Structure 1
Amino acid sequence: MAKAILHMLSTLKHMSPFDVNMALDAGYDAAIPYTNVTLDEVTALVQDAMFSRAPSAALRTGIFFAGRDAVLALDMMDTAKKALLKPFEVSLFADPYGSFTTAGAMVACVEKILREKKQRELKGSKVVIYGATGVVGYSAAVISALEGAEVTVVGYSGLERVAKLADEMCKRFNIKVAPADGSTPEQVRDLLRQHEIALCAARAGVQVLSKDDLAAAKDLLIAADVNAVPPLGVEGCGLHDNGVVVSPHGALGIGALAIGNVKYGTESGLFKKMATSDEPLCLDFRHAFALARELV
């Protein structure tokens, strides 16, 4: 049988060792990194990988899109799709900076706790996302909005940047997302008061919500955090917490490692699906969320 080969394209100086390890542990025989890749180079790279093998080996060839830009990774995958030709079609998987699998895991964990402990659905819930200009926050916003939640994305450098991002999300995915300015502690707390679910995807080592913030938010149901570096994003929410009370009003916390366990299984699972599929796959955040739902 032909070797299972994964070509890993990143826009950054280095390919993530995390992703390389995940791919090899999931069953690929070789994972080849390509760094500083630009959008206009994708077609040639994909077709070079595709035409170098017989059609019978096409499904043993995968292309992975990394980097740190969710939109660019999706653009690269769209370009790659257009470069594919029958019967040489290979499989494609985008997960820039692990954001699609992390966001999928985060929303899936929230959805489960929301149903089981609050008897509510994600659809119709008011969701605020702190750190939404980052790749995980961006992806979590799109997933939540596609599931019917009322989503507000928060920026920390004024309204202009996050408003532009929200507009791009709405146009690209045909969703409704509202931008908000969270550049002051008062604005962060005020937004928390107005929402039922808080997703914290800020930089590592940044506390987004304090105990006082949580105490002020009487309608808050769940606060989830993907930051595993102290100080944690949600004060009082432990790394392994998965539905533990974190506020006087009964809000429940979901910690970074509880989410991380699902993220790990999701990324590994998608690599395995791609490596063993009997048809070419194109995997993105939607597939990540679908698999994470199965794993929680």
Structure 2
Amino acid sequence: MERPYILHMFTPGPQMSPFDVNMAADAGYQILTPYCHVTLEGITGLTQDAIFSRGPKGAARTGLFVGGRDVMLADEMMDHVRKAMVPPFIVSVCADPSGAYTTAAAMVACTEAALRHGSKEGLADAQVLLLGGTGPVGRIAAVLCAREGARVSLGSRKGADAQQAARQTGERFGVALQGAPTGTAEELRAALAKADVVMGVAAAGVQVASEADLAVARRLRVAVDINAVPPAGIAGLGAMDDRKPLAGTSAVGIGALAVGNVKYQVQHRLLSRMREAERPVAYGFAEAFATAREVVAEKSR
């Protein structure tokens, strides 16, 4: 009898995301076990319980998933998980807190492709503004953009929050980020006037840029919005838009469902590849971004 594929799913929160459970089941895992209120101190013991109980051969059919909502904590948990493994008892692990890794990867890959459409510049030296950027998706998208050579600002209506998030995220992931206060119309429009790329990454149903705000964004080339709940996070940008000209600007727009389609495929591929891998793998946001680039390139063929 073959051993079943088991995925142990860790979250520091009160429950595991049903979205992630569904995705793991569709990727072929047969037994899904969530562990809630997991701490940094406790994750080492949980990991070692998972790896030592099945032997080296069983390890190939055992996976770990790190969820939650805090991308900084998830990265620390990944470090603890990997340090807890003892060869040859090593299993595959994937992190995607609040879907932020795969969503950010999809958004940045879509943006990069739109920038390169008709040119070869991509994100290098682009000025990127993330509105509502102190949340999980905004922080990881900022890191990915910065790693590609962009100059990145995390926008927040509370200037102190923007500065703190930029500093903490930059220090954790080794990139230079800026904070941009956007609490007043003057502050928001000053930030928009400098932007080549604007990403709306605020909470659902929150508009971060109106038509009047966008009128000052004369350098804007790409606008992306991950909010599918009305009103649109970026005015005039439809959820299904995919490189569609954004009225009143010189930019193209990419909507939430266009990003979401790529995000879904990225998460499915990562979980499927983890289950199918002959040797242990570890997937974080860098691997999610590489996979998102694959998906976007396939769409363009």
Shift of 1:243: 0.7
Q: Which residue number in structure 1 is paired with residue 57 of structure 2? A: 56
Q: Which residue number in structure 1 is paired with residue 82 of structure 2? A: 81
Shift of 1:187: 1.4
Alignment partners' CA distance in 1, 2:36 and 2:48: 17
C-alpha contact 2:9 2:32 (8 A) present in aligned 1: yes
Q: Which residue number in structure 2 is paired with residue 166 of structure 1? A: 166
Shift of 1:118: 5.6
Q: Which residue number in structure 2 is paired with residue 67 of structure 1? A: 68
Q: Which residue number in structure 2 is paired with residue 289 of structure 1? A: 289
Query: What SS does structure 2 have at the residue aligned with 1:209?
Result: coil
Shift of 1:173: 2.1
TM-score, normalised via structure 2 length: 0.95
Alignment partners' CA distance in 2, 1:184 and 1:279: 52
Q: Which residue number in structure 2 is paired with residue 22 of structure 1? A: 23
C-alpha contact 1:127 1:198 (8 A) present in aligned 2: yes
The code of the aligned residue for 1:126 comes to Q
Alignment partners' CA distance in 2, 1:247 and 1:194: 19
Matches within 5 A, 1:71-220: 71-117=72-118, 120-157=121-158, 159-220=159-220
Shift of 1:163: 1.5
The code of the aligned residue for 1:144 comes to C
Q: Which residue number in structure 2 is paired with residue 238 of structure 1? A: 238
Q: Which residue number in structure 2 is paired with residue 4 of structure 1? A: 5
> CA 1:174/1:141 → structure 2, altered by over 3 Å: closer, same or farther?
same
C-alpha contact 1:214 1:246 (8 A) present in aligned 2: no
Alignment partners' CA distance in 1, 2:181 and 2:102: 26
Shift of 1:247: 3.4
Alignment partners' CA distance in 2, 1:201 and 1:249: 20
C-alpha contact 1:115 1:121 (8 A) present in aligned 2: yes
Query: What SS does structure 2 have at the residue aligned with 1:113?
Result: helix
Shift of 1:113: 0.9
Q: Deviations over 1:83-137 (max 9, x none)?
A: 0011110111110000000000000000111111565311111101111110000
Query: What SS does structure 2 have at the residue aligned with 1:22?
Result: helix
Alignment partners' CA distance in 2, 1:146 and 1:192: 22
Unaligned runs of 5+ in 2: 297-301
Q: Which residue number in structure 2 is paired with residue 271 of structure 1? A: 271
Alignment partners' CA distance in 2, 1:264 and 1:9: 20
Q: Deviations over 1:193-215 (max 9, x none)?
A: 11100011000000111112222
The code of the aligned residue for 2:81 comes to A
Alignment partners' CA distance in 2, 1:42 and 1:270: 22
C-alpha contact 1:129 1:152 (8 A) present in aligned 2: yes
Alignment partners' CA distance in 2, 1:291 and 1:106: 12
Alignment partners' CA distance in 2, 1:123 and 1:239: 27
C-alpha contact 2:131 2:201 (8 A) present in aligned 1: yes
Alignment partners' CA distance in 1, 2:184 and 2:142: 21
The code of the aligned residue for 1:233 comes to G
Query: What SS does structure 1 have at the residue aligned with 2:144?
Result: helix
C-alpha contact 1:128 1:154 (8 A) present in aligned 2: yes
Alignment partners' CA distance in 2, 1:40 and 1:183: 38
Alignment partners' CA distance in 1, 2:225 and 2:119: 18
Alignment partners' CA distance in 1, 2:186 and 2:268: 40
C-alpha contact 1:214 1:247 (8 A) present in aligned 2: no
Unaligned runs of 5+ in 1: none
1:45 maps to 2:39: no
Shift of 1:174: 2.0
Query: What is the aligned length?
Result: 295
Shift of 1:18: 0.3
Alignment partners' CA distance in 1, 2:217 and 2:31: 50
Shift of 1:172: 2.1
Alignment partners' CA distance in 1, 2:62 and 2:183: 45
The code of the aligned residue for 2:270 comes to L
> CA 1:118/1:246 → structure 2, altered by over 3 Å: closer, same or farther?
farther
Q: Deviations over 1:239-283 (max 9, x none)?
A: 110111113332111000000000000001000111011111111
Over the aligned positions, Cα root-mean-square deviation in angstroms equals 1.1
Alignment partners' CA distance in 2, 1:117 and 1:110: 13
Alignment partners' CA distance in 2, 1:175 and 1:169: 8
